[in-house]
């Protein structure tokens, strides 16, 4: 039976609706209206069951009543004073409550489909109209959609209530809200294909993670991401727009100091099996990055007619002057002695740096929580990245064009200095280019503005190389330490990875801090035993200096202490007969002393902004490029990936959904590591090894080998009626004899002075007359981060096994602690 049709009109007084749909006022409706007292309202009081027709939509009685002026006028005319006064007294309160109800019910009155339409419009406008990146933070996302569309107020909360069970922990609820934000962007992408920024982010990360284009297309068909063509087109557009972007950046930010990195990157994902054409598939690239120094001004290249570049290039005489007047006496004591002085004078604050943070210095992965802000690479600019080897004079001359090809930087360089923090080849060839321009004033093949580039030694490379050399030179010692802590079944590589070297040195240092006082008291102040002096030099001088040079001194901006320790580490390199780092620090120190003596503004800038003269940024960039490329990546693909990483290196998408992890070791677990003279070898019975002078204190490399029992000046018994002291170099003197030598060890001073003059002469000869390519003499055990990854590339499985067994090893802490205590008791019982 077809339903009855009612044609109106509506019996409600002052009905504002216009429609053709009506319904009958039934007895059931009248009964409900009577119970709710609706019929007492004037507009409804005349209604009779089964006699009147109403509009198809039911109104809110109170709202209709209060919004109807006629009711109030009716009451006034009929003098219903009591009712009128009661209504007028409560009118404002009721009206506010109703407004609140309306606001809360606004979103509920809109259909879900309409809300999605409004949401899509907001997201589309954010992307296309305001050119904003997707907002992944749930709180900020909620604020964004509600501020731009009030009708969506409460919509996000509604989704949270419907999708996230209350039984989940608060942490999991917050994490799930991030997924709801994702769903909102995906909904918008389904409704409007041009609201696709979020899907593009997903596609870029899938491509970077190694997902095939076919796999991306399959996911695109599900609506989760854009197509592979869109991803590829977007990447190519980033490459094409990079020059305009970087030029615009420097145009807008040209009135400040910049520090640049220039380094060689080579893909370690190579196919090692040779074919008919190539013996290796390694691809070499030149990377140039720039970091803005906030609150700084450019450094004038020629200040008060004082040139930037030292007229004598590297000044050996000035280095010897500073050595004699300031540093020689400091090097007679250990690094830990100097460090204790800095702390007592409140010059150095160690509380800033945790041991775990220091151990992660050479772990560049941004998923590690420690030093997360430093790894973020904030404000770093990738100037250029192109296929180019950096092995020769011409290579570096070509690479520097990456900077001067940007017009604003070319103009900047004509008046100001651009410091380039780089490794040994960069130190050598950039300085060689400047030397060449100084000698050949009319050189036409190299731009004259290159004279205002200046190479600065990279503190990270100094730390890497000094720590690695300390371990390699003292390999037997660290091998025994490694087996003691991790077990005899574990193997220590001949050239361990930087993070493992850091760990072993830190373990040695922690252990030495525990037993130092006991050992020094047990052996007394006059012991000159060769094995004992070697251990003291290693544990109290070399290890702490190499650990602190970057992690503490450089990162804290402790300028004077940093310069002193660079000089100290040079003395280690001299003793170790390093080929490169017995020269590079001297060039840096010569520049520092020259700028200081002549009051050049470069000295003030590097002193005020030391932490910005860092080579960490380019190493971090290389690590990221390596993580997002494979052995099948072509040259163009690697270049594209580099620029994509630069464009998205701070993207919120990755930071929001990335699983962060802590460093494997905790603080509590760590509480438990060329000479012109004849080379001598010494047998150390306690360790059961034979060592060379490289492993012994510096005194054993001088013309005067330390005496075992006598004063090394007067050659009489050291422990007699005169007060005496044994220095960190191994030489021992009566205080009277030491003061007679102007308060310095004369044998070590002569050794350092000779080392300075010989190495400066060799370096200048290399700059002025040496080959324009890297030679065998330039090849050292230089620690290059790429080589380190390459050498250890095949040992990843061993690393995984070590991580898996880590908890088992560390669970034996009590056993190790007990064994450590037993050995300490043995020392006390000597």
How far is 100 from 115, CA to CA, in rounded Å?
20
Tell me if residue 805 falls in helix, strand or coil: coil
691 sits in which H/E element: strand 689-692
Average pLDDT over residues 730-735: 94
How far is 299 from 723, CA to CA, in rounded Å?
51
Task: Decide: 87 and 72 in contact? Cβ < 8 Å.
Answer: yes
Residue pLDDT, tens place only, 215-235: 999 999 999 999 999 999 999
**pLDDT for residue 756 is more than 90:** yes
Percentage, residues of the chain above pLDDT 70: 72
Task: Decide: 709 and 734 in contact? Cβ < 8 Å.
Answer: no
User: DSSP alpha helices (H): ranges in 635-745?
Assistant: 635-647, 652-657, 735-740
**pLDDT for residue 98 is more than 60:** no
- Among candidates 204, 153, 156, which has minimal Cα distance to 181? 156
Q: Where are the beta strands (DSSP E) in 328-425?
A: 380-387, 418-422
DSSP code for 38: G
Which pLDDT belongs to residue 803? 42
Cβ count near 778 (within 10 Å): 17
Of 115-129, 204-218, 475-489, 657-671, give the range with the top mean pLDDT: 115-129
Band (630; pLDDT cuts 50, 70, 90): confident
Torsion sign over Cα 785, 788, 793, 799 = negative
Residue pLDDT, tens place only, 533-591: 999 999 999 999 999 999 889 988 999 999 999 999 999 999 999 989 999 999 999 99
Largest CA distance in the chain: 132
Candidate from 26-35, 226-235, 435-444 with smallest mean pLDDT: 26-35
**523-to-491, 526, 723 alpha-carbon distances in Å:** 33, 8, 17
Which pLDDT belongs to residue 693? 85
Of 203-212, 446-455, 514-523, give the range with the top mean pLDDT: 446-455
Cβ count near 800 (within 10 Å): 10
- Please give the structure tokens belonging to residue 821: 């205590």
Work out the burial of residue 8: count CB atoms within 10 Å of its CB; fewer than 13 is exposed, 13-18 middle, 19 or more buried: middle
How far is 444 from 460, CA to CA, in rounded Å?
35
Which pLDDT belongs to residue 210? 81
Which residue bears the tokens 């008060």? 304
- Among candidates 314, 611, 260, which has minimal Cα distance to 422? 260
Task: Decide: 779 and 579 in contact? Cβ < 8 Å.
Answer: yes
How far is 470 from 548, CA to CA, in rounded Å?
14
Tell me if residue 741 falls in helix, strand or coil: coil
**104-to-58, 154, 291 alpha-carbon distances in Å:** 19, 8, 49
Torsion sign over Cα 472, 477, 480, 483 = negative
- Phi and psi for 632 in degrees, rounded to 5? -90, -5
Torsion sign over Cα 693, 696, 698, 703 = negative
How far is 808 from 795, CA to CA, in rounded Å?
20
- Among candidates 251, 192, 248, 245, which has minimal Cα distance to 223? 192
- Phi and psi for 683 in degrees, rounded to 5? -95, 130
Using DSSP, how many helices (H) and how many strands (E) does the chain show?
A: 37, 11
Cis peptide before 469 (omega within 30 of 0): no
Which pLDDT belongs to residue 310? 95
Task: Decide: 138 and 180 in contact? Cβ < 8 Å.
Answer: yes
Candidate from 91-95, 526-530, 764-768, 795-799 with smallest mean pLDDT: 795-799
Residues 6+ apart with CB under 8 A from 190: 223
How many residues are there in the chain?
830
Cβ count near 633 (within 10 Å): 18
Candidate from 23-37, 169-183, 331-345, 409-423 with smallest mean pLDDT: 23-37
Residue pLDDT, tens place only, 314-331: 999 999 999 999 999 999
Residues 6+ apart with CB under 8 A from 320: 753, 756, 757
Average pLDDT over residues 449-472: 95
Task: Decide: 264 and 427 in contact? Cβ < 8 Å.
Answer: no
């Amino acid at each position: 039976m077809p339903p009855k049709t009612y044609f109106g009109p509506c019996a409600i007084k002052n009905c504002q609706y216009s429609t053709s749909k009506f319904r009958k006022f039934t007895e059931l409706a009248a009964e409900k209206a009577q119970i709710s007292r609706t019929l007492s309202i004037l507009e409804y009081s005349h209604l009779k069951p089964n006699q009147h027709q109403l509009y198809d939509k039911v109104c809110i009685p109170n709202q209709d009543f209060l919004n109807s002026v006629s009711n109030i006028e009716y009451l006034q005319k009929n003098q219903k004073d009591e009712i009128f006064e009661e209504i007028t007294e409560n009118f404002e309160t009721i009206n506010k409550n109703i407004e609140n109800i309306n606001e809360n019910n606004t979103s509920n009155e809109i259909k879900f489909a309409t809300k999605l339409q409004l949401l899509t419009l907001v997201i589309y406008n954010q992307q296309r109209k305001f050119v904003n990146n997707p907002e992944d933070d749930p709180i900020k996302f909620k604020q964004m959609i509600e501020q731009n569309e009030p009708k969506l107020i409460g919509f996000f909360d509604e989704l949270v209530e419907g999708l996230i069970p209350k039984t989940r922990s608060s942490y999991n609820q917050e994490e799930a809200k991030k997924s709801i934000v994702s769903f909102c962007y995906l909904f918008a992408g389904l409704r409007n294909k041009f609201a696709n920024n979020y899907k593009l982010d997903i596609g870029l990360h899938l491509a970077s993670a190694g997902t095939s284009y076919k796999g991306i297309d399959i996911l695109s068909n599900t609506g989760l991401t854009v197509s592979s063509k869109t991803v590829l087109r977007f990447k190519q557009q980033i490459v094409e727009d990079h020059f305009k972007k970087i030029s615009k950046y420097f145009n807008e930010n040209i009135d400040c100091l910049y520090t640049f990195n220039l380094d060689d990157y080579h893909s370690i994902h190579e196919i090692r099996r040779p074919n008919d054409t190539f013996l290796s598939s390694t691809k070499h690239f030149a990377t140039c990055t720039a970091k803005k120094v906030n609150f700084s001004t450019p450094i004038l290249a020629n200040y008060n007619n004082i040139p930037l570049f030292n007229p004598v290039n590297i000044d050996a005489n000035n280095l010897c002057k500073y050595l004699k007047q300031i540093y020689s006496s400091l090097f007679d004591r250990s690094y830990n002695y100097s460090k204790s002085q800095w702390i007592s004078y409140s010059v150095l604050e160690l509380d800033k740096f945790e041991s775990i943070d220091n151990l992660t210095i050479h772990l560049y992965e941004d998923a590690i929580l420690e030093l997360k802000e430093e790894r973020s690479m904030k404000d770093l600019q990738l100037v250029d990245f192109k296929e180019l080897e950096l092995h020769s004079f011409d290579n570096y001359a070509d690479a520097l064009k990456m900077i001067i090809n940007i017009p604003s930087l070319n103009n900047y360089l004509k008046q100001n200095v651009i410091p380039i923090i780089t490794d040994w080849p960069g130190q050598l060839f950039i300085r060689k280019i400047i030397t060449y321009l100084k000698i050949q004033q009319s050189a036409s093949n190299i731009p004259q503005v290159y004279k205002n580039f200046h190479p600065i030694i990279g503190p990270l490379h100094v730390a890497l190389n000094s720590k690695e050399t300390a371990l390699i030179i003292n390999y037997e010692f660290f091998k025994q330490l490694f087996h003691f802590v991790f077990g005899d079944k574990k193997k220590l590589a001949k050239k361990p990875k930087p993070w493992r070297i850091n760990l072993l040195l830190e373990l040695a240092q922690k252990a030495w801090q525990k037993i130092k006082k006991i050992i020094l008291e047990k052996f007394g102040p006059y012991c000159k035993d060769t094995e004992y002096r070697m251990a003291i030099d290693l544990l109290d001088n070399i290890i702490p200096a190499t650990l602190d040079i970057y992690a503490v001194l450089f990162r804290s901006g402790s300028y004077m202490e940093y310069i002193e320790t660079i000089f100290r580490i040079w003395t280690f390199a001299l003793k170790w007969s390093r080929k490169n780092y017995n020269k590079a620090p001297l060039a840096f120190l010569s520049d520092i002393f020259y700028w200081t003596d002549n009051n050049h503004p470069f000295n003030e800038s590097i002193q005020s902004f030391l932490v910005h003269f860092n080579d960490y940024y380019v190493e971090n960039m290389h690590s990221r490029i390596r993580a997002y490329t494979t052995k099948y990546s072509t040259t163009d693909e690697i270049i594209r990936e580099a620029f994509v990483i630069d464009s998205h290196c701070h993207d919120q998408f990755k930071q929001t959904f990335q699983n962060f992890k802590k460093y494997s070791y905790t603080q509590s677990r760590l509480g438990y590591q060329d000479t012109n003279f004849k080379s001598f070898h010494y047998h150390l019975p306690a360790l059961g090894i034979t060592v060379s002078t490289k492993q012994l204190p510096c005194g054993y490399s001088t013309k005067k080998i330390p005496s075992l029992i006598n004063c090394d000046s007067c050659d009489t018994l050291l422990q007699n009626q005169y007060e005496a002291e044994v220095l960190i170099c191994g030489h021992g003197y009566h205080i009277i004899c030491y003061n007679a030598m102007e308060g310095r060890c004369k044998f070590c001073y002569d050794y350092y002075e000779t080392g300075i003059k010989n190495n400066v002469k060799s370096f200048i000869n290399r700059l002025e007359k040496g080959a324009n390519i890297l030679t065998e003499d330039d090849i050292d055990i230089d620690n290059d981060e790429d080589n380190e990854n390459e050498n250890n590339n095949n040992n990843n499985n061993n690393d995984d096994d070590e991580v898996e067994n880590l908890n088992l090893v560390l669970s034996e802490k009590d056993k190790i602690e007990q064994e450590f205590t037993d050995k300490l008791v043995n020392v006390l019982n000597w």
